[in-house]
Amino acid sequence: MRKGHGIFLGLLFLVPLLSFSCNKKQVAPQPQFTVSSAQVVFESEGSSSNVSITSNGNWTATSNSSTIWFTISQASGGSGNVTLKLTASANNTGAGREAIVTIKASNGDATQIEVSQPDNQNLLAKFAMVSPKLFTNNGNPLLDFMFTADPTAIEYNGRVYVYTTNDQQQYDTVGPGGKNNYGYIRTLVMMSSADMVNWTYHGVINTAKLAPYTYASWAPSIESRMETDGKTHFYMYYSNSGTATAMLTSTSPVGPWKDPLGKNIVDTKTPGVDVDNPFDPGVLIDGQGTGWLVFGAGAEKTPYLPDNARIFKLGPDMISLAGSISKIPAPYFNEASDLNFINGTWVYSYCTNWDARNVWPYSNIAKPSAACISYMTSKAPLDSNSWQYGDNYFRNPGENVGDNVGPLTNNHSHLFTFQGKWYFAYHAMYLQNYFNTTGGFRNVGIEEASVNTANGVNIPMINATFKGPSQTQLLNPFVLQQAETTAGTSGHVKFDTAGIVGNMVAKGQIDKQVLMVRGADFSKQIPSKFEARVKGTGQIDVYVNSLAGPALVSLKCDVKNWTTLSQQITQKIPNGAGNIYFVFYGDGFLFDDWQFE
């Protein structure tokens, strides 16, 4: 090849290379990708915010929110200028919400947008119709977050302990549209109070586990006695459905409980029972330390004298019969036996039947109304002829002779003393409207009562109310208090066991819940700090006297193990007695106890 020709060919190859290099610089400018906002705040539900995206390539928009609480008008796009609209959905909880939106370009560049909505909930409006107790001074029903019935009570170490049938277990099984036929109830509820308005929920007694022969557990009755081992023993008798009476024992009012017999103490095979339904027991230890048990129900011999009420003396061990079973000739008897010993007199209370009062031999005593509570008295309870009819002293709550606390229902009661004063426990359908049900689910209430002993034993009429008893002493907020102690709640609050018998913890939810205690005493000390034992991810906002205005304390939690968190108080609160509201939320968040310092 000639030299000149080689140079010519080299130039031919070089020119295209130079041309390609020049063209590349002209058609490949730096990529453009911008997002107009780094933060979006929704002030209210339904509000929107625009975000501009400029890109000369493809892009995508994604959110890290596990729940869809806002929408993005467009999830992807190409080159050009695009305006995205972000819109907040309805906020049923009113709690603050946060998320991250990531805008990512096809070349790998990405921009994040912080999306949030502040807590802007009107708590007074949210909780306005959740309970008959939360924003009132009402004491009834005792627990407003679950259904309870058939109460019994006992005083111990400055507290009154109340035990009930667990109607909530039936409600949870059949739902608000179902009926309360009591068939799914196999637990008993425990609660206690030191002041008659703030009630500590101690959980349930699992009769199905403790006594597997228990078909259903209703209507407990309890007594206690100091025994030779130096311990107070608690003896609880309960209905094993309608077929028998079973019993449990414990050396603590909240358990653990045990079954000492492994069988019913009374059933239809027990000699002398002679009733179809030996259930609804009422236990008593009299002034001499002797135990007694009353029970009964079933087919009537006659409407006036059904001949179904029974009584017997318990053995010294409280788990055996000490003699034969005797009859109590209770007029228009139906069920719900209860027994007291007052100034040397045995006082037997019961629920009357629904029959017409066509027979009535007493001219000086009014006929008892249907399904009311009547009483009889005796000085020799095993002598059937010794029993004298007293009167009826509590009409069916559905008659609305006091407050309108619900429709007609069966009637079950217990007369007891606490701190030297008489009280009367019963049930009514207080909460059905709040739980959106008409299935017959009941709740326990308490009224102050009078028992006159000047001339025998006389019990004046008692009426059902929402108000209930007065607070006997103020609550001390400067000592450790349990989260499961409440005078009112947002209704559907949940509690869980805490690994200690009788201790429960409040469970957070996505939706806000509230617990309230009444009559906290701030007259002697103004708090400077609040602390609570908590676990999980959530928040507690503390208010005194009102849910309006800023919280006294906002305690935020994000820990895996039980931890006591605290926060200084900068606001001033009124000197005196007040109600404390704990607004808490967080799915999986647990709240055990609290106190001020």
Active centre residues (catalytic): 150, 335
d(CA 309, CA 366): 21
Choose among 226, 329, 229: nearest CA to 285.
226
Residues 40, 114: contact at Cβ < 8 Å?
yes
In angstroms, the Cα distances linking 294 to 70, 219, 264, 280 are 63, 13, 15, 8
Categorise residue 419: left if φ over 0, alpha if ψ from -120 to 50, beta otherwise: left
d(CA 85, CA 64): 17
The C-alpha torsion from 586 through 588 and 593 to 595, rounded to 10°, is -30
d(CA 330, CA 341): 18
Tokens read off for 342: 């007052």
Angle, alpha carbons 440-486-597 (nearest 5°): 175
Cis-peptide, bond into residue 306, ω within 30° of zero: no
d(CA 160, CA 416): 10
Choose among 234, 593, 232, 219: nearest CA to 411.
219
Tokens read off for 186: 């196999």
